[in-house]
Chains A and B, each alone.
Chain A
Amino acid sequence: MSLFNFYLFMANFKQRTRRIWLTLIALIIVFFAFQIISPSGHWTCRQDFSVRGENLFNRTCLGQASPGERVARGAGGPLLLLADPVYLSVFAPRAFSQAEVTIVYRPHLSSSTPIFEAGFLADSKLWRYRLQPIYNLWLEKGLSDWNVIKEDTQLLFQKENRFTSISEFLNEWQTGESVCQSVNCIGTYNVDLQDYPPVLNLSTLTQADSNTVLPYTLRGAHQFYLYLSGNDLEVSGRLLDRNNNIEKDDAEFLIFSGQRAMASVKIEDDRSETEMSGEDSAPESFRISRNDLQPGLYRLEFRANDDLSLENLTVNSAYLSAINKIWPDGADPVRLYSDAPYLQAKAIDPAVLQDIRFGESIMELSEIYKQHEVKSNRAGIQTIELASGGVLLENNGVFAAQAEQLLNPEYPRLDRFAPLSGQLDYVFADYQPAEQLEDGWLKSSVIFASGDFYREKSNYNLILSAPGMRLDSGAGGLIEIKEISVKFSGKNLWDKIRELMLNL
């Protein structure tokens, strides 16, 4: 080959080689663009824990389960959930409007840990997750000697064979016919009760005008039930800001009638003290007045982070009940009442560790950042006594400063403290029983509307929850997870283009 031909050949070879790798780079760019846009409107994140998740070539779209001490890898690979809750990040290249979570698992649960739920972080400010049921031991096995009617995903369990269809039961319930022989005989699970009669007969509530003052300072976000006998609502109190965290401490009050938001008032943090100074602000008074409401039951929501405290909360209602949670602050003794038969308590300050009296039981709060719990042996309203505030109290009922201020329109929920022994005659649930696979594995799928879910750095925050399952409790229990699949769906490329063209 002459020298000229040689150089020509080499130039052609160089050009060919360069074209090859440039084409490869272009294809990789198209591939990533395709993943980002997801033109089909679908994206699936799946991990099979029976094989090693990460391989030499890539990592998985499902992050490491955390906290690490609550999980383990079993023999043959399944992920073991040892305590509640466990968090995983789920990668998605863009936001989607719907997420379907499918889990293949083997539950080893008990009456103390009967529920397994999964969900996503919906509100990052209040750290609120939206959960759906994966497995409920009561509904799968605990009511096996009850009569059950199944229609689509609705289940009706009845102790005695009174109704032949769910619609017959619902009709009688919705029209206010007396379904129950005793009070609160209908237990529910995962049901939207907006269209059903309240468990309370509102005409039996105190109709006289009255003011209720909560005698304790409350820390952080809270929700309250109250009853208005007239058209006016007056809410007042004071806000205290600890100024411990870095962000501004805005507060918001929302008033709901059922699921409908009636009013919202935002109180911005214009206080002069600097954030992170640790300097308590001067109390800031607030007053909210509305005169266009109908008499009835309302939910008052105080949205704030733990840097803010609510002092001297006053409402023009004879009833003021904190929903599911109350966090009294201050050094003075606290006396509260609750309608739930159990109590969970947690302290974050060693100075507030103490013994708590709940009904006739004593709970020793011995460690900070640990959830303690106690169950009462007695039915009915329970008294709670604390030597000082600073302890976060939670249950599935309500709390009030006086027993006569208790107001709970919720039906008994079929959770780990469900009163299955005698109180319930019916259980109404929206629940899809698990699909049986081989070797004892179960498969459950739940669907979320994920349009408003919180995303951070392209990741959704998935939670797996089995309330009551703890490493150090005698309740024991664990869940083997073989596979988690999250299928996202949303607008496809054509829908997006059409939307853009309509907006132009």
Chain B
Amino acid sequence: MEKKDSTIINPKISVIVKEAFYFFSALLVLGAIVETLFPGLFSLFVNAALIAAGWLISLILLLLYVRR
């Protein structure tokens, strides 16, 4: 039986997905630091739920389609 290869064929997209995950992770950390030091400032300009959704989607894509 053939095992389906679930990696993304296009390596560019693989890089983009990984870097997107790192970017959203960095954004969440930055948001946590800013909110801790200046409560309300980060969420005044950025919807944290959108950032978290972006992070989660990039994580799912990373886990499902990108093989180290």
* Chain A residues at the B interface, C-beta cutoff of 8 Å: 10, 13-14, 17-18, 21, 24-25, 28-29, 31-32, 35-36, 56-61, 91, 93, 457-459
Contacts and interface: CB of A to CB of B under 8 A. Distances in A.
B12 interface: yes
B41 A56 contact: no
Contact of A10 (B11, B23, B38, B46): B11
Contacts of B42: 32
B47 to A, nearest CB: 5
Interface string B32-66: 00100011111111110010000000000000000
17 contacts: A17-B15, A17-B16, A18-B22, A25-B27, A29-B30, A32-B45, A35-B41, A36-B38, A56-B50, A57-B46, A58-B43, A59-B43, A61-B44, A91-B44, A93-B41, A458-B38, A458-B41
Contact of A13 (B12, B26, B47, B50): B12
A18 B19 CA distance: 6
A25 B30 contact: yes
Contacts of B15: 10, 13-14, 17
B45 to A, nearest CB: 5
Nearest to A33: B34
Given A14-B19, A32-B34, A32-B41, 4 more contacts: A21-B22, A58-B44, A59-B47, A458-B41
Q: Which of B38, B39, B50 lies at the interface centre, i.e. has the most chain A CB atoms within 10 A of its CB?
A: B38
A128 B48 CA distance: 35
A91 B40 contact: yes
Nearest to B19: A17
**Chain A contact surface mostly:** helix
A58 B38 contact: no
5 closest cross-chain pairs (CB), A and B = A21-B23, A457-B39, A17-B19, A14-B15, A91-B40
B47 A57 contact: yes
Interface residues of B, number: 23
B44 A59 contact: yes
Contact of B40 (A10, A25, A29, A458): A458
Contacts of A35: 41, 45
B30 A28 contact: yes
A315 to B, nearest CB: 46
A13 B41 CA distance: 34
Contacts of A14: 15, 19
B41 A58 contact: no
A461 B23 CA distance: 36
B39 A58 contact: no
A129 B34 CA distance: 30
Contacts of A32: 34, 38, 41-42, 45
Contacts of A18: 19, 22
B53 to A, nearest CB: 11
Contacts of A459: 40
Contacts of B41: 32, 35-36, 91, 93, 458
A17 B23 CA distance: 10
A461 to B, nearest CB: 14
Contacts of B39: 457-458
Nearest to B41: A93
Contacts of B30: 25, 28-29
Contact of A58 (B12, B16, B26, B47): B47
A380 B11 CA distance: 90
A18 B50 CA distance: 21
A31 B36 CA distance: 17
Given A17-B16, A57-B46, A57-B50, A25 B23 contact: yes
A54 to B, nearest CB: 9
A29 B41 CA distance: 12
B19 A25 contact: no
Contacts of B22: 18, 21
Contacts of A13: 12, 15
B23 to A, nearest CB: 4
Contacts of B47: 56-59
Nearest to A459: B40
B30 to A, nearest CB: 7
A459 B40 CA distance: 9
B1 to A, nearest CB: 30
A311 B5 CA distance: 86
A503 B42 CA distance: 32
A29 B50 CA distance: 18
A31 B16 CA distance: 25
A220 B20 CA distance: 58
